[in-house]
Amino acid sequence: MTITRKALDDAFRLSLRFHYFPEEIEASGYAKVLRETEEWAARRIAKAAEELNGLRISDDALREFVYAHLKRSHKDGNLPA
């Protein structure tokens, strides 16, 4: 799988919550962008969970997996800080 610049940007934006306090995100001017990216991710996760419904994978379970993966990637240094 090739990681595109857009995907990296989305992953980076979603990982902001693991590195900064909400007040810092707001002060930096990234709150709106982060909110929009989180909304985009929620739609994508819901769509993926719908496709995986036959495997009994819920939106919540998939969301937990995605955010745990992002948090691990951030902690391991695989996403910019």
Residue 1 carries which DSSP code? -
HSE-CB of 60 using CA atoms within 13 angstroms: 0
Name every residue whose Cβ is closer than 8 Å to that of residue 81 and which is 6 or more positions away in sequence. Answer: 19, 74
Mean pLDDT of 42-53: 94
Residues 11-41 pLDDT 10s:
888 988 888 899 998 898 888 989 999 999 9
- Full-model pTM: 0.78
- Calculate ∠ Cα 62-64-69, nearest 5°: 95
Most confident of 6-10, 22-26, 42-46, 77-81: 42-46
